[in-house]
Amino acid sequence: MNMLLTNYIQGAMRRATYEILPDNTYYGEIPGFQGVYANAPTLEACRETLQEVLEGWIILGLRLGHTLPVVDGISLTVEQEAV
């Protein structure tokens, strides 16, 4: 699962888009990942923050049983054990 998760995160980060805002800070988001965005004074800080937000979003989504976007053919799901 570890490499699968790493590949998923890397694939999602490749989809990220960035722009410079009027206040000269950087804004980044990942299309298809609702609520995953970051704003920071430098592009590198924005990338780092965006990845941290993405990781937390994935963990929360898996805990809540949300359907996460498929990235590069990778689908992250939690399988429920039979009771």
Average pLDDT, consecutive stretches of 10 residues, N- to C-terminus, the chain (83 residues) = 88 98 98 97 98 97 93 84 59
CA gap 8, 11 in Å, rounded = 5
- Residue 40: DSSP 8-state: E
- Give the DSSP H or E segment for 57: helix 43-64
What pLDDT does 83 receive?
60
Domains and CATH numbers, the chain: 2-64 (3.30.160.250)
Residue 70 has what pLDDT? 94
